[in-house]
């Protein structure tokens, strides 16, 4: 390794250890986990349950393309965790939203990192979900008896896109404001009910603080629970029916 790279790596390690003390944190976790796990396992037989759940042979036709569904779920978990951290400092009001985002980015320790992980995680989640859906479609895994699971997957795709659209407004800057204005105008163009959809989304005829509040409630309170319910149903069906092979 080149000398400048060694110095840079050493500087990053020193900076991290001064603020987080990773060695001490890992040591504490390693000491606590066996005690908690041992006590729970004695009472609940966790090991036996996990063995029944996880010790299942993987079909020979499963390859890397079959992993995108699981990777999408991992990204969803990351989004939930980083979203909780962001929600600690975020203020969902027209007067304070942008200021709170700048505070997270510039003042909160590692806030810039959490925000970027959350932003890029949403893009990757949508990308991986599309790849997963394309793989399922071309392998014919949506056919009988898995058509209901395909419908649930389409609902999860819609929920994921709604996650991205509702979260786009939350920084409350010029880009998100006008992007949401254009996006909601599309709903307003629906024949007969467009005007009512527009007011339902915005809370008024224009994008205002009411729109921000509605999008925040949708993004944080409604969509996560709906997604979790659909995911449980999706995984239960996959476990029951198994992984479909290619045509």
Helix (H, G, I), strand (E, B), or coil: what is residue 163? Answer: helix
Query: Which residues of the chain, if any, have pLDDT below 70?
Result: 1-23, 25-30, 33, 35-37, 246-247
pLDDT at position 175, please?
95
> Residues in the chain, how many?
247
In the prediction, which pLDDT does 26 show? 65
How far from the centroid of its chain's Cα atoms is residue 140's Cα? Answer: 27
In this structure, what DSSP letter does residue 60 have? T
Q: Quote the CA–CA distance of 147 and 211 in Å, as a whole number.
A: 36
Looking at CATH, the fold of the domain delimited by 65-241 is given as Cytochrome Bc1 Complex; Chain C (1.20.810)
Provide the whole-model pTM: 0.81
């Amino acid at each position: 390794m080149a000398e400048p790279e060694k110095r840079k790596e050493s500087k990053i390690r020193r900076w991290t250890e001064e603020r987080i003390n990773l060695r001490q944190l890992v040591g504490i976790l390693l000491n606590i986990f066996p005690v908690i796990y041992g006590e729970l396992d004695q009472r609940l037989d966790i090991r036996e349950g996990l063995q029944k759940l996880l010790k299942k042979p993987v079909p020979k036709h499963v390859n890397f393309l079959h992993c995108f569904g699981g990777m999408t779920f991992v990204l969803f978990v990351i989004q939930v965790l980083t979203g909780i951290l962001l929600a600690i400092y975020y203020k969902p009001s027209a007067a304070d939203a942008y200021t709170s985002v700048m505070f997270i980015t510039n003042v909160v320790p590692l806030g810039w990192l959490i925000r970027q992980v959350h932003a890029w995680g949403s893009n990757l989640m949508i990308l991986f979900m599309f790849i997963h859906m394309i793989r399922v479609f071309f392998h014919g895994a949506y056919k009988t008896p898995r058509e209901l699971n395909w419908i649930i997957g389409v609902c999860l795709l819609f929920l994921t896109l709604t996650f991205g659209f509702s979260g786009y407004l939350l920084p409350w800057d010029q880009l998100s404001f006008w992007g949401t204005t254009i996006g909601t105008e599309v709903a307003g163009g629906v024949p007969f009910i467009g005007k009512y959809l527009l007011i339902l989304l915005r809370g008024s005829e224009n994008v205002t603080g009411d729109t921000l509040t509605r999008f925040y409630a949708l993004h944080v309170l409604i969509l996560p629970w709906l997604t979790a319910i659909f995911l449980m149903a999706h995984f239960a069906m996959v476990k029951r029916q198994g992984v479909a092979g290619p045509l």
